[in-house]
Amino acid sequence: MTTQIKFGTSGWRAVVAEEFTFTNVRRAVTGIARCVASQKPSGARVIVGRDPRFLGETFCSMAAEILSAYGITPMVIAEAAPTPAISYAVIQERADGAINFTASHNPPEYNGIKFSTPDGAPALPDVTKKIEVEIAAADANAKKPARVPAPQSLDPRGMYLSRLREIVDLTAIQKAALRIVFDPFWGAARGYPDSLLRDAGVSVSTVHDYRDVLFGGHAPEPDDHLLEDAKQKMRETKAQIAIATDGDADRFGIVDEDGTFFQPNYIIALLCDYLVESRGWKNGVAKSVATTNLINALAKHHRIGLHETPVGFKYIGELIKQDKVVIGGEESAGLSIRHHIPEKDGILAGLLCCEMVARRGKPLGQQLQELFVKVGSFYPQRENFRLTPEVLGKFTGKLQTEPREFFGLKVSEIVRTDGMKLVFADGSWVCYRLSGTEPVVRVYSEATSQAGLEKLSAAAKKWIFE
């Protein structure tokens, strides 16, 4: 039986040797090649890159051969490269897209393919659906064009780092004598933000600065429970901040000087406030429906427009392309800013946090408390619950209802941008989203106090299983 290859919110991912096989990789790349060739029958060029995962070099070679067979010039990146660097290279090189072999923050047994369109953005659903159609068409008829262009080599590092020098105030970081720890999680960002900072005279200590295709035996995810080595290095070096990136460097993780991990919701809000004040930008802010309403309060405070999107950074990327937002972010640790790429950039996120701490002269914790004083306090969280088939069937039906009350809380608004978000009269809310790949419901809750959050979280769980 032929595996059906489906592109989700961030490409196609699967376990190596189960679904992510040489045969299926060839099928996926063939679908992309046919899609590109149908848009540009001659002279097309597509960048081919990867993160440091197992067999990445082999997959890149396979992709280059397939693209060449379809008359497309492959521009192959020899070393592992961050997703944001590949995205920027697409724009700078005026390429017709990029194939990026990465499973991002997924565990080491996974690999995946991200496809970027000529604007450097993640492919939108209309493009990925066309790719899926072309995969099926190629399965039925594997005939290929005869013209075979030679591969070209590409190194995106220099152009991408030059762009970061234009965006980030490295001088302010150096003048503040900030001490920084960087954790690339053995991933594609190795040698990127740390070398940039060192060249600017900033003190940087790095952990996990070598290739490990097993990522230390766990997912390369810059989350609190996996950042202990970075925190230990902070204690040793008396660093004021630690910045981390996931396997392909599109996601970020930030640790304050006292060792407190700062959840992405708060980082996006702080950077929104900082960029509006420091850059003077006033053209709006974007967030996914599951991201903190602290962003909403900031938009109101700064009198800028608010754009609330479905989950998936491609929707925020469209707003960045249209120059409608100062910053756009998701609670799952993805953000980008005005005049930059329409793709998540974990490297930029970390560097901007360093700049913000340096220029404001205050740790993140103090900045957040001052933000709460200014616009009100917000306490968000996300939880995942695995459901039995019986519970899943019943709960799917409940998501179609229109509750007016929720355990004593009056429902003031029901938002169906993505899943079901219940907004309550006191400003708290809960959002339910079913996974598209497994029997899991993701529950996002937010209240105005920690005690309120705990109460709301318990109610949100009860509503699933009652």
What confidence tens digit (pLDDT) does each residue in 87-136 have? 999 999 999 999 999 999 999 999 999 999 999 999 999 999 999 999 99
Beta strands in 124-214, from DSSP E residues, in sequence order: 152-153, 179-183, 203-206
Q: How far apart are CA 249 and CA 168, in angstroms?
A: 17
3-state secondary structure of 111: strand
Instruction: Report the pLDDT value the prediction gives residue 466, as an integer from 0 to 100.
Output: 87
Q: Has residue 162 got a pLDDT over 70? A: yes
**Domain ranges across the chain:** 12-155, 159-375, 379-465
Q: Do domains 159-375 and 379-465 have the same CATH topology?
A: no
Indicate the pLDDT class of residue 438, thresholds 50, 70 and 90. Answer: confident
Instruction: Report the pLDDT value the prediction gives residue 437, as an integer from 0 to 100.
Output: 72
Q: Write the burial class of residue 83 (CB in 10 Å: 0-12 exposed, 13-18 middle, 19+ buried).
A: buried
Q: Which pTM was predicted?
A: 0.96
For the chain, give the mean pLDDT. Answer: 96
Which of 353, 355, 110, 349 lies closest to 247 in space, CA to CA? 110
CATH of domain 379-465: 3.30.310.50
Instruction: Report the pLDDT value the prediction gives residue 141, as an integer from 0 to 100.
Output: 78
Tens digit of each residue's pLDDT (9 = 90 or more) over 376-406: 999 999 999 999 999 999 999 999 999 999 9
CATH of domain 12-155: 3.40.120.10
Instruction: Report the pLDDT value the prediction gives residue 316, as an integer from 0 to 100.
Output: 96
Give the strand pairing for 334-337 and 327-330.
antiparallel
Instruction: Report the pLDDT value the prediction gives residue 183, as an integer from 0 to 100.
Output: 98
Which of 347, 357, 457, 460 lies closest to 399 in space, CA to CA? 460
What's the CATH fold of domain 159-375? Alpha-D-Glucose-1,6-Bisphosphate; Chain A, domain 3 (3.40.120)
Q: How many CB atoms lie within 10 A of CB 375?
A: 18
